[in-house]
Chain A
Amino acid sequence: MLDKNGIAKRIAKEVKDGYYVNLGIGIPTLVANFVRDDIEVEFQSENGVLGMGPFPFEGEEDADIINAGKQTITTLPGASFFDSAMSFSMIRGQHVDLTILGAMEVSENGDIANWKIPGKMVKGMGGAMDLVASAENIIVAMMHTNRAGASKLLNACSLPLTGVGCVKKIVTNMAVIEVTENGFKLLERAPGVTVEDIQNATEGNLIVDGNIPEMEL
């Protein structure tokens, strides 16, 4: 079973040389820490920066340079700033190669729910609906089950949707799963996790085809 850093580490392997990548808040943010040093990747933040760098050193914070989580950041050589409409032109226009975001639920047809729980304070979707409606390559980073132990990989989402039929791949603390026309296809197991464990933690249709390898981290 992986922890949050383990999930981020596995997802980092999906980040290829030359990719422009948008990272959501939470586990996705950690992915930046594990991307290989020998490839060129630029991180986009939807509030208007491409070429995001690490947090600033103490005393060098700038109120005018933040990420979409409103955290102070730095920029790397080659970075650029732009307005919100242009930022979403990059996203909607499919110029961003990979979007990594968290989810509360994913269904076997690739629907995602991650912005609203009825009866609780709703903070809003931010840029998530634009991202999932447009990106060709969406990876969901999440725990396989919720705090109550219930599966987050479902036949159909029970929460209000963020987007329909958009998720392509899911990396959880237990498995790497591809969303196919026939349901969730199990690709890899986390270290120490059996196919049966994954089966038991997955409510939606899980396709197990042949021998399922353990993840290489």
Chain B
Amino acid sequence: MINKKVDNISEALQGVTDNMTFMFGGFGLSGIPENAIAELVKLNVKGLTCISNNAGVDDFGLGLLLQQKQIKKMVSSYVGENDEFERQMLSGELDVELIPQGTLAERCRAAQAGFPAIYTPAGFGTEVAVGKETREFDGKMYVLEYAFKADFAFIKAWKGDAAGNLIFKGTARNFNPNMCGAAKITVVEVEELVPVGTLDPNEIHIPGIFVQRIFKGAHFEKRIEQRTVRQKA
């Protein structure tokens, strides 16, 4: 067993510096690497490029990095649940690149899988495709999109072991598996770090080969963004 376990969060984030490009798993606030974000706030690294489907809310998720003006550029598919984000974007302090959600996922997966680029039909004929190579296959037009290049991927999983094997829960899975191994260093925080050998190899979502560092997160708030319920009849 190759050990990926690190003892604490500062060891997990060792090597993080200004002007790096990071990937963050999560959809809305579900499945975000809360502990890594809290540590990045503490380290106060600046000039970051962040690849993440969303940008958090004002006081949680990536919104915490925005408050300290740590982010230079966001690459996302949907943003703006966040006043400070809007202010920085409109004032020009923050550069924002909006890309289709499936393209975002596939540019992560391409980086993970060793593809330099992929062709997708998403965005053809729209401003998203402006300046990009396009090509026809079987009578349909596609846009060339490049694999991401990132320094760190920050991942949240449900269960993991010291070998770096991961299991995700519910829709908190989202972009997390696609970002594992898509950056130079993949750092995973888990709710439960279980002894090696207790996870059934048949049920592992991401094998440890894609993971460099794993630790048990000290605290998970797991905030709900839109609490919707129905009444008991």
Counting CB contacts under 8 A, is A149 at the interface?
A: no
Counting CB contacts under 8 A, is B212 at the interface?
A: no
Report if A130-B125 is in contact (Cβ < 8 Å); known contacts: A57-B232, A61-B229. Answer: no
Closest beta carbon of chain A to B90's beta carbon, Å: 7
Decide: B29 and A70 in contact? CB cutoff 8 A.
yes
Our pick among A83, A111, A130 for the contact of B100 (Cβ within 8 Å) is A130
Q: Which of B38-46, B63-71, B175-183 contacts A (4 or more CB under 8 A)?
A: B175-183
Report if A48-B171 is in contact (Cβ < 8 Å); known contacts: A127-B77, A160-B126. Answer: yes
Decide: A64 and B222 in contact? CB cutoff 8 A.
yes
Counting CB contacts under 8 A, is A39 at the interface?
A: no
Counting CB contacts under 8 A, is B116 at the interface?
A: no
Q: Which of A4-12, A85-93, A178-186, A191-199 contacts B (4 or more CB under 8 A)?
A: A85-93
Chain A residue contacts of B17, Cβ below 8 A: none
Decide: B101 and A126 in contact? CB cutoff 8 A.
yes
Decide: B228 and A73 in contact? CB cutoff 8 A.
yes
Which residue of chain B lies nearest to A63 when distances are taken between CB atoms in the complex? B222
Counting CB contacts under 8 A, is A49 at the interface?
A: yes
Counting CB contacts under 8 A, is A207 at the interface?
A: no
Decide: B170 and A64 in contact? CB cutoff 8 A.
yes
The docked-state distance in angstroms from the alpha carbon of A57 to that of B232 is: 6
Q: Which of A116-124, A137-145, A168-176, A209-217 contacts B (4 or more CB under 8 A)?
A: A116-124
Decide: B126 and A81 in contact? CB cutoff 8 A.
no
Chain B residue contacts of A127, Cβ below 8 A: 77, 100-102
The docked-state distance in angstroms from the alpha carbon of A72 to that of B78 is: 18
The docked-state distance in angstroms from the alpha carbon of A81 to that of B205 is: 11
Decide: A48 and B223 in contact? CB cutoff 8 A.
no
The docked-state distance in angstroms from the alpha carbon of A81 to that of B31 is: 13
Closest beta carbon of chain B to A104's beta carbon, Å: 14
The docked-state distance in angstroms from the alpha carbon of A91 to that of B173 is: 18
Our pick among A70, A128, A130, A134 for the contact of B225 (Cβ within 8 Å) is A70
Assign chain B's interface to a size class.
Answer: 35 or more
Q: What is the predominant secondary structure among interface residues of chain A facing chain B?
A: loop
Over the window 1-21 of chain B, the binary record of Cβ atoms lying under 8 Å from chain A Cβ atoms (1 yes, 0 no) is 000000000000000000000
Decide: A63 and B223 in contact? CB cutoff 8 A.
yes
Decide: A85 and B105 in contact? CB cutoff 8 A.
yes
Decide: A64 and B169 in contact? CB cutoff 8 A.
yes
Chain B residue contacts of A35, Cβ below 8 A: none
Counting CB contacts under 8 A, is A133 at the interface?
A: yes
Chain B residue contacts of A54, Cβ below 8 A: 230
Over the window 40-60 of chain A, the binary record of Cβ atoms lying under 8 Å from chain B Cβ atoms (1 yes, 0 no) is 000001111100001111101
Chain A residue contacts of B30, Cβ below 8 A: 47, 63-64, 66, 70
The docked-state distance in angstroms from the alpha carbon of A127 to that of B158 is: 25
Decide: A133 and B121 in contact? CB cutoff 8 A.
yes
Counting CB contacts under 8 A, is A163 at the interface?
A: yes
Counting CB contacts under 8 A, is A3 at the interface?
A: no
Q: Which residues of A contact B (CB under 8 A)?
A: 45-49, 54-58, 60-73, 81-85, 87-88, 91-92, 111, 121-130, 133-134, 160-165
User: Beyond A84-B53, A126-B78, A161-B125: 18 further Cβ-contacts under 8 Å?
Assistant: A48-B171, A57-B232, A61-B224, A62-B170, A64-B169, A65-B171, A71-B228, A81-B171, A85-B105, A88-B106, A121-B89, A121-B90, A126-B77, A126-B100, A126-B101, A127-B100, A129-B126, A164-B125
- 28 CB-based A-B contacts, threshold 8 Å: A45-B171, A47-B27, A54-B230, A55-B229, A57-B230, A60-B229, A66-B27, A69-B226, A72-B226, A82-B173, A83-B168, A83-B175, A84-B53, A85-B102, A85-B105, A85-B106, A85-B178, A87-B102, A88-B106, A92-B120, A121-B80, A123-B80, A124-B77, A124-B78, A129-B103, A133-B121, A134-B122, A160-B126
